[in-house]
Chains A and B, each alone.
Chain A
Amino acid sequence: EAEVAQSPRYKITEKSQAVAFWCDPISGHATLYWYRQILGQGPELLVQFQDESVVDDSQLPKDRFSAERLKGVDSTLKIQPAELGDSAMYLCASSYPTGTSGRISYEQYFGPGTRLTVT
């Protein structure tokens, strides 16, 4: 069964350092999402791609976070500089549309996540 791949699984970094996460979605999934999940809370969307284009980055802290999906396949999320408050699980998901016109649904498949600890 196809899966969303993420690396690394765990990352410890010092504050003010740069850190990057990688995601490879399920083949054929045009939509890719990056979520941040703080311990004890539900995931919150950081950025959403449709193919190589950003369609929603309203919650992405753009002064320190950046994301790209250059060829519309895999994606990288970067933080520079990292802050203590960035410690969280970073989840990547991909989806495809199902259903018929007027009732289209997007079923998202999540990767295992990257647990970031900033010290």
Chain B
Amino acid sequence: GNSVTQMEGPVTLSEEAFLTINCTYTATGYPSLFWYVQYPGEGLQLLLKATKADDKGSNKGFEATYRKETTSFHLEKGSVQVSDSAVYFCALNNAGGTSYGKLTFGQGTILTVHP
């Protein structure tokens, strides 16, 4: 079955520091990969996605590259801000058959950015 493993948190950084959150996956076929962000008390927001190998998803300064050879989708940002403090989830889905995009999530990584 599908599974997603994220680096354990929490991650605490100073403003303008470089961020990496590791994500690796196990899946059959050719999944699509996603990063979602969840701010306190809110639902999940799609941050970025990649649908095939070597695709790079990017949004709001965040980037992640779909690496099929290492089954990874690490999230990076060159300079974090206090407003980036949130929980980040890596996820995948397979669109084949009747799965209709069912998402499998990692456990989430808490990011706290200090001024």
Q: How far is the CB of A27 from chain B (nearest CB, A)?
A: 18
B24 adjacent to chain A (CB < 8 Å): no
Interface size class of chain B, counting residues whose CB lies under 8 Å from the partner chain:
20 to 34
**Measured between alpha carbons, how far is A33 from B106 in the docked complex, in Å?**
17
Chain A interface: which of B12-20, B45-53, B72-80?
B45-53
- Of the candidates A41, A48, A105, the one whose C-beta lies within 8 Å of that of B49 is A105
Interface string of B96-108 (1 = CB under 8 A from A): 0011111101111
A105 touches B107 (CB 8 A): no
Residue-wise interface mask of A (82-110) relative to B, using a CB-CB cutoff of 8 A (1 in contact, 0 not): 00000000010101010100011111111
Q: B27-51 interface mask toward A, CB cutoff 8 Å, 1 = contact, 0 = none? A: 0001010001000011111100101
CA A50 to CA B95, docked complex, whole Å: 13
Q: B44, B45, B100, B107: which contacts A50 (Cβ < 8 A)?
A: B100
A72 near B: Cβ within 8 Å?
no
Q: Which of B30, B42, B46 is A109 in contact with, Cβ under 8 Å?
A: B46
| B window 49-67: CB within 8 A of A | 49, 51-52
Q: List 13 A-B contacts (CB under 8 A).
A: A4-B43, A42-B105, A91-B43, A95-B100, A95-B101, A103-B52, A105-B51, A106-B32, A110-B43, A110-B44, A111-B43, A113-B43, A115-B41
